[in-house]
Structure 1
């Protein structure tokens, strides 16, 4: 099974490069904030008392909480997609007497191999980032000059262990469906998409939706003095709502496509009809592409609007609701979240499009031209971007409204129109060219050879 697992990784580099990038960022993030906590813990007591304010440990804990959760959300999304791409191969293995346990072992082997592959560069990235971040805190008087990042291996060991636990649990859940059904049913399921969302997934999505709502309600009830706690609760609530969107994505995209698909069919009768049919028939695939875009827009928009709202409240009152260091911390956190969300968006869009080579070849064999396929992909890209921006904006609006209620007493936040416009434009700029550039390569080559390729 080890050789088969490694062979699958070589045959599907797009999916596993995306998983490797997600694991790299996750391990680096845990190493970064773990190293900062270790630095504060190892510092002399006198050095810790020389700095007014929360200190490095509190900053690292509050700052890293959302970043680590987002990074592991990206890992789970990338891993689930990488395993879904292998349904056909896993089904074929089942037909030649591979047991469900062996199929699950293959998935675990791929997670283990990918994690170990990125462990060393992730450690280097996390250690360098920890030193840079600590130096930035010291320049702003938020950390004592004598605090140093220790050379202890504990942060990287904890980071690798956490990544392995998350990856192995996610792989077990993702491989469960293909390993529990009969080989014949698995082979049929690999070439089609289930028309209904499972009951467990619906229940989990509904639970996440309720949990996100409760977190936003908690945010709205915070006092002005608890600004940082309100911001963290709002970001956590936005993330939980995005998890709910990921779980309920296939159901939500079917509803939204039914509304947005009609204009596309009218504007581009041929390519628009194909795009609408694809998005309706493969709602789970569309959801996989939409959720990372929503993650990028939702978290970035929430952070930008919260920062603007806090600054507006500070200017409108005599009190000090925010400060230059607070703004810097939020901007740094925004940059890190954008980094995670961008990697997730690019990885997923490239992998989703690249895996459709066989589908494009079959369409070409029945008369579709490369030009028609590219116009179809263009229509799908616009629809994907629109759905992602719409969903992310809804999450950002709900989270920032709760934060605004806590800070200003009003549910109407101060929206930085320019910054939000750039976020939406950035999401579109990642989505549309990413799909089209990958599509150019996917539609190239002889259709007869690609149609017989086992890679869907």
Structure 2
């Protein structure tokens, strides 16, 4: 069976048989490629115009805006891609393990996964290019309307931003694939099949060390933001926002450990309020810390980024160092536009992850039904889990936002106490809950359908 995974037929067959497993990855790749095309097209518009046209507008200029705006957005977009790719592979873990047991080599397994990533990237490339180019024209028109871009600038037709978007998506996707597929392709076939139904109890030492290193990097970025002088608020804001993203990456790396600790603390009131399903929900979350971490990280991303942007905007408005001219209003509009784009990426990541995490528990739910649990009890348990997941994610994200906001406030006002917009914070909490709880419950409704005996014996779907 040397040629069992040779050619693209098996990779495409997997995608046709289980399109839902690749929907999240396709959405993430679409957003990432559209974002790169968007900001690449803006840079092309600025570079293709004569110098007299580029300098005909007030403000920092289109190159600076596109660069500062795009660097964070593109990083978040590819963070979402890596997260989605991990779940696409996780949903195929059992199939990949079975291929290993029937003589597929590690190299053939990796080739299969690479083929799936390349096929998904090519599938969404054209729609992503069109969406990115249209968004670039809309964004340039909005900048021109506010006097932040010269009226004579136009987005040229150029294949370069599109090719850069395609190459960047392929490089990130294939690099993430190499890391994600490494474990199943290196262990023995029997161990791979066993691992497809179990979870490691501990976070590996290399991952913890990497998390600590990234955490230190985030702290250094926040220190850099805090030491900026008041007349460099834009640089302080970019450093604080980038620092918050780095801290969220550290949360993703150390997530299982942090999620286990926080769920143990926050699970106590849930167990007290609902002794039956609350205890079961808390036990599941603590017993499957890696799965909990996977669900918590996108919620923390959503809360952390939106909280950081809201706090920085409110602090800048109340800072004596901030101007009260029309330029200040345009800065606020830019931050709001950036926040909207980041929230779009974070929302896609949250929905993709929560749906994937809940859907893969179909066999677990079936086993619980076989030992006497009813569908209504399982849904109440999922409700308690959704509440705990939201609480842990919100707490982690709020901690990151508070740290970033304090750093920016130190630069803007000299005080580490930022101006916190309570209304915006409540909307952020409501948005996180509105994404998390319905996503888990609706997916759970589909996961508990059908005969329990059939679902329990069928593996993960």
TM-score normalised over the length of structure 2? 0.96
Alignment of 1:46-195 (within 5 A): 46-195=52-201
Using the TM superposition, give the Cα deviation of residue 322 of structure 1 relative to its aligned residue in structure 2, in angstroms: 6.4
CA contact (8 A) 1:209 1:241 kept: yes
Using the TM superposition, give the Cα deviation of residue 53 of structure 1 relative to its aligned residue in structure 2, in angstroms: 2.2
Using the TM superposition, give the Cα deviation of residue 10 of structure 1 relative to its aligned residue in structure 2, in angstroms: 3.4
Report the CA distance shift for 1:94/1:226 in structure 2 as closer, same or farther (over 3 A). Answer: same
Distance 1:281 1:190 in 2: 16
CA contact (8 A) 2:37 2:133 kept: yes
**Cα RMSD over matched residues?**
1.4
Alignment deviations for residues 331-373 of structure 1 (CA, whole Å, 9 cap, x no partner):
1001101111111111111111111111111111111110111
Using the TM superposition, give the Cα deviation of residue 395 of structure 1 relative to its aligned residue in structure 2, in angstroms: 0.3
1:438 aligned onto 2:434: no
TM-score normalised over the length of structure 1? 0.97
1:420 aligned onto 2:396: no
Distance 2:364 2:124 in 1: 32
CA contact (8 A) 2:97 2:193 kept: yes
CA contact (8 A) 1:404 1:413 kept: yes
Alignment of 1:35-434 (within 5 A): 35-314=41-320, 323-434=328-439
Alignment deviations for residues 271-316 of structure 1 (CA, whole Å, 9 cap, x no partner):
11221121111111111110000000000000000000000014x8
For structure 2, list consecutive stretches of 5 or more residues without a partner in the other structure.
Answer: none
Report the CA distance shift for 1:267/1:12 in structure 2 as closer, same or farther (over 3 A). Answer: farther
Distance 1:70 1:355 in 2: 25
Aligned residues: 455
Report the CA distance shift for 1:452/1:3 in structure 2 as closer, same or farther (over 3 A). Answer: farther
CA contact (8 A) 2:322 2:328 kept: no
CA contact (8 A) 1:235 1:303 kept: yes
SS in 2 for 1:71: helix
Distance 1:214 1:69 in 2: 18
For structure 1, list consecutive stretches of 5 or more residues without a partner in the other structure.
Answer: none
Distance 1:390 1:25 in 2: 27
- Of the structure 1 ranges 334-343 and 352-361, higher mean CA displacement relative to structure 2 is found in 352-361
Distance 2:457 2:17 in 1: 15
Using the TM superposition, give the Cα deviation of residue 327 of structure 1 relative to its aligned residue in structure 2, in angstroms: 0.6
Using the TM superposition, give the Cα deviation of residue 411 of structure 1 relative to its aligned residue in structure 2, in angstroms: 0.2
Using the TM superposition, give the Cα deviation of residue 430 of structure 1 relative to its aligned residue in structure 2, in angstroms: 0.6
Distance 1:211 1:248 in 2: 14
Distance 2:322 2:97 in 1: 64
Using the TM superposition, give the Cα deviation of residue 317 of structure 1 relative to its aligned residue in structure 2, in angstroms: 7.2
Distance 1:193 1:219 in 2: 39
Using the TM superposition, give the Cα deviation of residue 52 of structure 1 relative to its aligned residue in structure 2, in angstroms: 2.6
Distance 2:193 2:117 in 1: 23
SS in 2 for 1:367: coil
Distance 2:157 2:458 in 1: 49
Distance 2:37 2:331 in 1: 23
